[in-house]
């Protein structure tokens, strides 16, 4: 049975051989690609991925400006007991109840 050190040495030898084989095969693959591109009259632009229609996934992820932050709305309602306010958007707070008119903030 092989020892740990022997197996590590074999692994390193195999990895070096892999790097060498890849380097020799890459030149053949590149030449094959160039031949096919010439045969079918393709350009790099034909092969590169094209942008799909619609909005790109991730929104502002590809170097575009970050979307503007939504400005908060001024409050429309206020709880006189706690001073809590609500703008009228989203889920209504529990303190508002059914009669919203008594919590309405007077416009200045």
Q: Following CA atoms 85, 88, 91, 96 in sequence, which dihedral angle do they give, to the nearest 10 degrees?
A: 50
17: left (phi over 0), alpha (psi -120 to 50) or beta: alpha
Q: Which residues contact 42 (CB under 8 A, 6 or more apart)?
A: 36
Q: What is the pLDDT of residues 77-92, one digit of tens each?
A: 998 889 899 898 889 9
Q: pLDDT-based confidence at 18, cuts 50/70/90?
A: very high
Answering whether pTM is above 0.95, one says no
Residue 87 or 71, more confident = 87
3-state secondary structure of 34: helix
């Amino acid at each position: 049975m092989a020892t740990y050190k022997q197996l590590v040495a074999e692994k390193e030898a195999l990895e070096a051989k892999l790097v060498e084989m890849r380097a020799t095969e890459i030149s053949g693959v590149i030449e094959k690609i160039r031949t096919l591109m010439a045969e079918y009259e393709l350009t790099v632009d034909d092969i590169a991925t094209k942008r799909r229609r619609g909005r790109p996934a991730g929104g502002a992820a590809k170097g575009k400006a970050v979307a503007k932050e939504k400005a908060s709305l001024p409050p429309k309602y206020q709880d006189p007991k706690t001073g809590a306010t609500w703008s009228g958007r989203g889920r209504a707070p529990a303190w508002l109840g059914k009669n919203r008119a008594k919590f309405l903030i007077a416009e200045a």
